[in-house]
Amino acid sequence: MGEALMTNNPIPDMIEEFLISSKDSIEAISKVITSGDASHGGRVFFHSYGSSDKKEISFDGSCFFLRTSVEYSSPQLTLEELEGLITARLLEVCVNKLIETNTPDTKDIEEMTEALSRPPSGRVIPFIFETDDVEPDRYSNNPLRSSIVESGQSAFPVATTTTDALKLDSLFLDKYEGSLVSKDEVELVKNSLGITHRYVDFVDHVKLEELSRISERYGLELRLPQLRMPLEVLIGEVHQDPLHKLISSCHSNYETVESLYTLMGRSTKKKTSLLTIPHSPKGYGSKRAARGRLYFSDDHLEKISMHYVTTQLYPNMIDYKDLSVAKCDDSFELDGNRFSDYSFKDTPSSPQFALYALLSPENASIWHGVGEYSGNEILRSYVSLQTSFLNQTILQGLERPRATRQSPVVLNLEPGKMWKHSTYGNIDGGIGCITDLSLFFEKEIKVSPISVKPRGQLQT
């Protein structure tokens, strides 16, 4: 991938096919923009993370912000992540051109191809949303696996995981070389480990290096603006800043908790669904390994009791019996006032995705294979909370990040069309396992808008 720009450019054909296969998604975004429902107020800020620095990037709030994502659960850039990034950029240039002209022609294809070689610009701005509260080997595809466990960090959130004691796992490499990680990626990971102390910076460095090689080889710029949530935001905030206020508001009284439970499809009988998961004094923060319970006294939250227990996480797609693990053991209690008047510095915790996504600037989001590779329930919780929040039927005192009352457009990479390794049939392998990426650029990408019915809407 480090060679000069290839002569036979597959990108124009990719754009032409995408205009047909994903026409409904292109038109769905264009409709929101032309109707004026996508407007924001003020500027929207993102970052570009390098090996040792963090650059701030800002855009006018009137842009249409399109969320895609990559994972911190492995350093290598996966085929699934690459498809999501390319989809985001294709949507960007196709919608921008559709707004400009109703019928893109050959000349427009040339202009869109050129636009893909540059950073995002125009009305649609795609960005990478990175969840930094997950475990470092959540999906059993991390080539550093054994040292993550041995260093005691397997149940840590990635935001607080460090690279000092991490090293390549020889057993993992012997088993998965060529299917989950390639020799080139192993070398890149090895050379990148000593560059930065923070695990999240290390992962970003590896993925960005792979994206740089794609840019050089194919003239396809995929190094998009980035947004880390929720822990990076919470670490940088002070008391009463937006995400702190969100957590405080969620725990303000029993009625609010009950409303949020309803929208998230949870039962209030046992009160074991935590809206934010307190981290252990030992550093544990795995949501899957956490066991908690809310205790109320009359209308206010009295306390939260917590237990962290060793728990299996998820398998990779090559060996479904090979589950990763979050090793932990701790118990503690916290006073309820710590959450109704929240301070991350005093009480580190990880809010649920559907809650902190309320403060993402997104006007649309790309989901990956809902129905086969990702769950319907988390998507429905997301849509239910977004809809009620924007309609001001919950958390009314919080400032909305969007001026629009329209819930973000939900787009889904169709699972039957997603890119898979030609030999192993998996989507979670590193792109270095692919001999010729240009062959995938010739495959159809299909992303479709999906309608999700929100759970019971609350009345004002």
| Predicted TM-score (pTM) of this structure | 0.94
Predicted confidence at residue 3, as pLDDT, reads 46
H-helix segments, 219-290: 231-236, 242-250, 254-263
H-helix segments, 264-404: 337-340, 353-356, 376-390
Return the structure tokens found at 385: 């909370």
Q: DSSP assignment, residue 197?
A: S
Predicted confidence at residue 7, as pLDDT, reads 61
Predicted confidence at residue 405, as pLDDT, reads 64
Predicted confidence at residue 9, as pLDDT, reads 87
Over residues 59-83, the pLDDT tens digits come to: 998 899 999 999 999 999 999 999 9
Predicted confidence at residue 50, as pLDDT, reads 63
Closest Cα partner for 103 from 30, 36, 39, 32?
30
Predicted confidence at residue 103, as pLDDT, reads 74
| Secondary structure of residue 115 in the 3-state scheme | helix
Predicted confidence at residue 458, as pLDDT, reads 43
Predicted confidence at residue 306, as pLDDT, reads 98
In this prediction, the residues of the chain whose per-residue pLDDT falls under 50 are 1-4, 458-460
Per-residue burial over 406-432, b = 16 or more CB atoms within 10 Å of its CB, e = otherwise = ebbbbbbbbeebbbbbeebebbbbbbb
Predicted confidence at residue 369, as pLDDT, reads 86
Over residues 8-39, the pLDDT tens digits come to: 789 999 999 999 999 999 999 999 999 877 66
Predicted confidence at residue 169, as pLDDT, reads 98
Rounded to 5°, angle at Cα 25 from 113 and 441: 40
Per-residue burial over 203-242, b = 16 or more CB atoms within 10 Å of its CB, e = otherwise = bbbbbbebbebbbebbbbbbbbbbbbbbbbbbeebeeeee
